[in-house]
Amino acid sequence: MGTVKIGINYCHHYEGLPKPEYQTAGAAGFDLLAAIDHDRELKPGDFQLMPTGIKIELPFGYEGQVRPRSGLALKHGITVLNSPGTIDSDYRGEIQVILINFSKNIFLVTRGMRIAQLVVSEITKVELAETLSLHETERNSGGFGHTGW
């Protein structure tokens, strides 16, 4: 496992919150916190854009993936709506997270709450080559549920 250094800037509304860090040595991502100035209610079925108060500078050839936290999903039905959200290497704005409440209960997002995680991954660019046909496979065009439930 390699290490890549990325630049980080903190927005004024991040002040007083702990620096992002990996929670364990084997963690794939580090937590993103809710950098909000007041508690926000997420009603059942509602979604909101939550600021994280950080901006990052990813090197060319890398992306950031905003992913849900499994504990929020399991215990509260809260997840990231456009999961995974992609942060491109040329984006320099504040990272924000679209949270949605799939539960039947109101969920309170509080300042500093761990709302998502960010995984940084190397990407591969592909070159698309138009062809008249594609090689056949055992699966071929079988789609959703074609191998059974």
Q: Where is the binding site for substrate, in residues?
A: 69-71, 82, 86-88
Length of the chain: 149
Count of CB atoms within 10 A of residue 54's CB?
Answer: 20
CB 93 within 8 A of CB 51: no
What residue numbers does the annotated binding site cover? 69-71, 82, 86-88
Burial class of residue 99 (count of CB atoms within 10 Å of its CB; 0-12, 13-18, 19+): buried
